[in-house]
Amino acid sequence: MSSFTDGSSAPHPRSAGDRGHWLGGRLAVVTGASRGIGAATAEALAAAGARVVLAARDAAALAGVAGRIRDAGGDASAVPADVGNAADVDRLFEAAAAAGPVSALVCAAAVLESVPFAETTPAIWEQTLRVNLTGSFLCCRAAFAAMRRGGEGRIVTIGSLSGVYATEKFPGLAAYNVSKYGVIGLTEAIAVEGRPHGISAICVSPGAVDTEMLRRANPDLRPGLTPADVARLILALLDSPLAPASGANIPLFSNAPADRENQASSP
């Protein structure tokens, strides 16, 4: 399949080979898609037959992911965007709407800066919440409006064990932790208001995943998951009937500190 960049709003028929996946032939937006969980998820959804719109700030890396998807026979379009910027999010969803109705959204965009609490500046705090929480809000709100018009939709947000009550927290992550608590609460709110419109929302909260962000957060943690592992879970969730679980948060206890391999902790 080729990239959908012609601006056509005509519906795209689902092929016979897509029958095993709810996503087959549907349009999915994936943020944070230039690397890590976002990139792996975009590739997994495209392999399942979804037409994917990819968003991230790193235009070159984003183009590379979209190119890999197209080289593998998938349908992908790259829209460089800062999810914490309302104008960028509007532009992202305008581009998606030109390709067809948005059926799925995965919010994987996030930033992290490890800094002691007493040294956390307002700028670090605001930037972290702007991307991680406000960015999720802006994208979910735009997708919600599109899905409500279409009569259905499925949203997956990415939290973290750092945002899960009663899990061990690590120093230097106050802003990140708070942002992820917020993402979980946002998902619950979307689930409540989405139910009458056929819109489901669920949050996945991984622990240690083998990403650049983990290495910045805590280089001593031994990751128990790869981005592809998380992507497969997200694909399975989107392909399943989400409504009964809408509003749930799924913690993935995948942390293994180097000196205590079996201990589950965060983020």
User: What six digits make up the tokens of 35?
Assistant: 């690397």
Longest dimension (CA), the chain: 57
* Closest to 143 in 3D by CA, of 100, 179, 93, 190: 93
Asked whether the beta carbons of 227 and 216 are under 8 A apart, the reply is no
The whole-angstrom distance between residue 58's C-alpha and the CA centroid of its chain comes to: 16
4, 93, 137, 176: the active-site residue = 176
Asked whether the beta carbons of 115 and 176 are under 8 A apart, the reply is no
Asked whether the beta carbons of 55 and 29 are under 8 A apart, the reply is yes
Q: What is the C-alpha to C-alpha distance for residues 250 and 242, in angstroms, rounded to an integer?
A: 13
Asked whether the beta carbons of 203 and 161 are under 8 A apart, the reply is no
Q: Residue 166 to residues 51, 128, 265: CA-CA distances in angstroms? A: 38, 22, 10
The verdict on whether omega for the bond into residue 267 sits within 30 degrees of 0, i.e. cis, is yes
Quickly tell me which residue has 């913690």 as its tokens: 251
Three-state SS for 74-108 is: CEEEEEECCCCCHHHHHHHHHHHHHHCCEEEEEEC
List all residues 6 or more positions away from 94 whose beta carbon is below 8 Å from its beta carbon.
none
165 is catalytic: no
Show which residues are catalytic. Answer: 176
